[in-house]
Homo-oligomer: A and B are copies of this chain.
Amino acid sequence: MDFSSKLLENAVEEMSQLPGIGKRTALRLVLHLLKQPENQTEKLVSALHNMRSDVKFCKKCFNISDTDICEICANPKREENVVCVVEDIRDVMAIEATSQYKGLYHVLGGKISPIDGIGPGDLQIHSLVERVKSGEVKELIFALSSTMEGDTTNFYIYKQIEGFAVETSTIARGIAVGGELEYADEVTLGRSIVNRIPFEKSLKNS
């Protein structure tokens, strides 16, 4: 693309570094900012700057937080000996939105993925093992995505904490509530039959 302005070209170039934003989309976004009052760009710019320079990670669960210990870890009403292992903050937000979970979290920051060059040392696994070793955790719930990377990460952690007095579980996989059997994939349907639950228990859930 041949820009008539170096300033515009720079802005488009930087914008197109974001994942899923190509040059054309970047140009559209930047031209939109140009049409809006200058303070809209300033608000975006300072929000991004402040976020990147001031955001903290909770020292206990490594969730994104404005304080040293996040709101969830600091909440005395949460069950502090149940810990749910997730990949990133989006998973925390998704689980919190259900209002069904009262324990704490541990945010790994990703999954073990040799292809992407992500090993156990790049994730918050050591700190999780320390939490387990300290005896504060009674139950560990694995809630990583059920991909090969997720399963590898689960198993790696499982091996690290073997021998400590901690129960482990994984979230249930099965047909979505309201989902039709005929459209489900075989793996999911298979798991949901193998891991069937007593009917009386299902009545309590609904």
- Tell me the A residues contacting B by CB distance below 8 Å: 1-8, 10-11, 13-15, 17-21, 25, 27-34, 38, 40-45, 47-56, 58, 63-66, 70-72, 88-90, 92-93, 96-97
Given A8-B55, A93-B1, are A29 and B34 also a contact pair (CB < 8 Å)?
Answer: no
Of A4, A27, A53, A90, most buried by chain B (CB within 10 Å of CB) is: A4
19 contacts between A and B (CB under 8 A): A2-B96, A2-B97, A4-B89, A4-B92, A5-B55, A6-B66, A11-B50, A14-B43, A14-B44, A14-B47, A18-B29, A19-B29, A20-B28, A27-B90, A30-B51, A33-B48, A34-B64, A41-B48, A45-B45
Given A1-B93, A43-B14, are A7 and B63 also a contact pair (CB < 8 Å)?
Answer: no
Q: How far is the CA of A64 from the CA of B64 in the complex (A)?
A: 39
